[in-house]
């Protein structure tokens, strides 16, 4: 779904499809048919945003086989779905983080996702976002790995600029601060990531962490990002049992923080036990999306065509 902020920013609201991951394209399309299409119908919208999680094997297949990539795009269009964001955590399953940024596999996977997303973006959408891990686990991070990871990020920046020069699509990678990792706070992310390239590398914020007051306080984090002019690539993990989420959304969409155009609802399988069947998860996703849509319109955003 698309909404428009009063400053002209188009806000894309989607749900994280990693809640029903697939290890091949056939199952991915089947999941979209089984879950995403019924969610779209429940919301009574012509177009629904999907934040896809693509396993490394699926990403490799889509990069090596253009026909399969075209097939995925057509499948999305036929079902009234659009993709402006990808979950780039990696690993064999969506909840598994995969290799850290000192390893070449992480760079290759992220670049594959960037090329795929540039192709999947709708014609009238310029910006795409990819969320990724906060560099690596701090306990496994000796000093010599900092320079290795920094070189990979510098190379990533150059390649993302290259994608823009060829396709006109601006792909941004957001690093999500996480307790126990190299990037635990937005301040650390600003120092390590945005200093390399604030146009293509930014921060992915977790609404749960911000509203629950975990490692850092929401207001301080948002003020720091606004002061630095750093891009908030995506706000994720939004759901409707978070009383403080309207305040977080209001801060993000106040115009003070650049680039906060992608908001992603996330529901985990434990919300809808398998014994209840697909209908329970569909209902949960539709409820969370409807709550977030209402929260955004209450802040003055208008539904966009």
Tell me the CA distances in angstroms from 228 to 106, 154, 187, 191, 194, one per residue in order.
27, 19, 10, 10, 9
- Express each pLDDT in 54-111 by its tens digit: 999 999 999 999 999 999 999 999 999 999 999 998 765 555 677 899 999 999 999 9
- The listed range with the strongest mean pLDDT (109-123, 125-139, 217-231) is 109-123
Nearest-CA neighbor of 109 among 95, 137, 89?
A: 89
Q: Would you say residue 38 has pLDDT above 80?
A: yes
For residue 53, give every residue at least 6 positions away whose Cβ sits within 8 Å of its Cβ, in sequence order, or none: 16, 17, 18, 21, 86, 87, 89, 94
User: How many CB atoms sit inside 10 A of residue 220's CB?
Assistant: 12
Domain range for residue 142?
2-303
Q: How many domains, in total, are found in the chain?
A: 1
- The predicted pLDDT at position 245 comes to 66
Instruction: Specify the DSSP class assigned to residue 270.
Output: G
- Express each pLDDT in 111-121 by its tens digit: 999 999 999 99
Q: Would you say residue 44 has pLDDT above 50?
A: yes
pTM over 0.85: yes
- In this structure, are residues 259 and 232 in contact, taking their beta carbons and an 8 Å threshold? yes
Between 92 and 289, the more confident residue is: 289
Nearest-CA neighbor of 50 among 71, 26, 31?
A: 31
d(CA 183, CA 203): 10
Tell me the average pLDDT across 24-46: 96
Residue 225 belongs to domain with CATH number: 3.20.20.150
């Amino acid at each position: 779904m698309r909404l428009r902020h009063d400053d002209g920013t188009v806000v894309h609201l989607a749900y994280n499809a990693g809640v029903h991951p697939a290890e091949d394209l056939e199952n991915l399309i089947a999941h979209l048919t089984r879950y995403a299409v019924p969610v779209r119908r429940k919301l009574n919208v012509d177009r629904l945003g999907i934040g896809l999680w693509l396993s490394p094997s699926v990403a490799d297949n889509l990069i090596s086989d253009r026909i399969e990539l075209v097939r995925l795009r057509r499948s999305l269009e036929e079902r009234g779905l659009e993709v402006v964001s990808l979950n780039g955590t990696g690993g064999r399953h969506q909840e598994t983080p995969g290799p850290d940024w000192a390893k070449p596999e992480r760079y290759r996977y992220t670049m594959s996702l960037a090329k795929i997303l540039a192709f999947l973006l709708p014609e009238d959408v310029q910006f795409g976002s990819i969320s990724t891990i906060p560099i690596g686990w701090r306990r496994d991070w000796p000093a010599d790995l900092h320079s290795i990871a920094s070189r990979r990020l510098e190379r990533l920046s150059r390649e993302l600029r290259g994608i823009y020069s060829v396709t006109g699509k601006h792909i941004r990678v957001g690093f999500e601060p996480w307790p126990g990792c190299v990037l635990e706070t937005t301040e650390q992310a600003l120092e390590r990531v945005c200093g390399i390239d604030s146009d293509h590398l930014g921060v992915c914020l977790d609404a749960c962490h911000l509203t629950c007051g975990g490692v850092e306080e929401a207001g301080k984090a948002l003020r720091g990002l606004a002061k630095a002019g750093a891009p908030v690539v995506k706000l994720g993990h939004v759901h409707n049992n978070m009383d403080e989420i309207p305040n977080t959304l209001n801060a993000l969409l106040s115009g003070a923080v650049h680039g906060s155009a992608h908001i992603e609802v996330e529901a985990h399988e434990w919300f809808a036990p398998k014994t209840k069947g697909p209908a329970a998860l569909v209902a949960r996703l539709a409820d969370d999306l409807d709550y977030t849509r209402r929260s955004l319109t209450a802040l003055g955003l208008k539904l966009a065509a």
